């Protein structure tokens, strides 16, 4: 029974420690990249609307690969791209048409769940990234929370407090076990 408890204790310690490291990585990387969490060269974007459902559920995170100027000009129909609107808002929609006007490449886009195409065509220079095929449903809510001041503080401090509390719990019961063993030891002086 003691071996099982020790294994469980070790597993909990490792999980809490890994959680602390993961949260620190997520919070620090999102702060360092000005709110754009990045993993292995891919940016993680939160899906904020239902315009691309059922492809992306609201609250999901998607992985997008940032594009350079050459890559922006060779996108094709059915590629899912992230682009900046005139207002500077990032939108992720599907390309439904490609036209060339002189040196400019224009993309006609549409959200999969929208009735019609987007009003304005997108200049290739406004395309930021292409969808990589990576999606995790609903975790975007968590990422948005982690990027807030309260979320950052809670996610860095919370696992640390849990880890310290669990360490204190182990120390308390370790001392209690040592105390119990020392009381059960019979010395030569007790015999005489």
What is the set of active-site residues? 49
Backbone region of residue 28 per phi and psi (left: phi > 0; alpha: psi in -120 to 50; beta: other values) = alpha
The H-assigned helical ranges of the chain are 2-32, 69-72, 139-147, 149-184, 188-191
CB 123 within 8 A of CB 104: yes
The residue behind tokens 């929208």 is: 114
* Phi, psi angle pair for 72, to nearest 5°: -65, -25
Rounded Cα gap, residues 105 and 92, in angstroms: 18
Rounded Cα gap, residues 160 and 166, in angstroms: 10
CB 101 within 8 A of CB 152: no
């Amino acid at each position: 029974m003691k071996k099982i408890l020790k294994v469980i204790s070790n597993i909990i310690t490792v999980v809490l420690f890994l959680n602390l490291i993961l949260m620190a990585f997520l919070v620090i990387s999102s702060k360092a990249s000005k709110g754009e969490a990045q993993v292995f060269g891919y940016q993680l974007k939160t899906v904020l609307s239902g315009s691309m459902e059922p492809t992306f559920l609201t609250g999901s995170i998607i992985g997008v690969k940032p594009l350079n100027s050459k890559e922006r000009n060779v996108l094709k129909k059915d590629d899912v791209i992230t682009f900046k609107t005139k207002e500077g808002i990032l939108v992720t929609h599907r390309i439904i048409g490609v036209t060339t006007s002189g040196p400019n490449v224009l993309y006609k886009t549409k959200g999969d769940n929208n009735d019609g195409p987007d009003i304005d065509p997108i200049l290739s220079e406004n395309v930021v990234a292409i969808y990589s095929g990576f999606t995790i449903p609903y975790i975007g809510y968590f990422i948005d929370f982690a990027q807030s001041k309260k979320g950052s503080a809670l996610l860095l401090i919370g696992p640390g407090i849990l880890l310290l509390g669990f360490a204190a719990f182990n120390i308390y019961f370790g001392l209690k076990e040592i105390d119990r063993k020392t009381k059960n030891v019979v010395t030569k002086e007790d015999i005489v």
